[in-house]
Amino acid sequence: MEERVVRKLMASVKCNQCGQPYRLENVQVLGRHQDMWFFNVYCAHCHNQYFIAATVNADQTTTITDLTPADVTRLQKANPLTSDDVLDMHSYLKNYQGDITRLFNTNAFNI
Ligand SMILES: [Zn+2]
């Protein structure tokens, strides 16, 4: 599936915090591994920023996140992501060669 189509799909997803849809210009693709896509999304309504991992294919779209309400509270208090953070993640995912499940079983993304 093309990146522009996937970005439009993500723009139809509603913010976990306030329930407003994301704007297309605030959905950034960080990377992809097979049907798993990684996004950085910013909610223009409540000004929260999220990392979203989603499986996307032509038959179905499922949004998943490992954020619990406690995670959301903790991340709201964290420093905002910078463009360098996004570029670092993009480079990491672009060069990642391992099993995708290992990516989520590490503490690499804990703040
Ligand atoms: Zn929001």
Quote the ligand 1 centre to 99 CA distance (angstroms). 32
- CA 104 – CA 26 distance, rounded (Å): 24
Q: Are strands 61-64 and 27-33 parallel, antiparallel or unpaired?
A: unpaired
User: Is residue 109 in some structural domain?
Assistant: no
Task: Give the pLDDT confidence score for residue 46 in this predicted structure.
Answer: 93
**Do 58 and 9 touch, CB atoms closer than 8 A?**
no
Cβ < 5 A residues, ion ligand 1? 15, 17-18, 43, 45-46
User: Is residue 92 in some structural domain?
Assistant: yes
Quote the ligand 1 centre to 43 CA distance (angstroms). 5
Between residues 13 and 43, the one the model is more confident about: 43
Task: Give the pLDDT confidence score for residue 44 in this predicted structure.
Answer: 93
**Looking at the chain, how many residues does it have?**
111
Q: Are strands 49-56 and 36-42 parallel, antiparallel or unpaired?
A: antiparallel
Number of domains in the chain: 1
Q: Which domain holds residue 44?
A: 3-98
Quote the ligand 1 centre to 69 CA distance (angstroms). 14
Instruction: Write down the pTM of the prediction.
Output: 0.51
pLDDT tens digits for range 30-89: 888 877 888 888 999 999 888 888 877 766 555 566 666 677 677 777 787 788 888 888
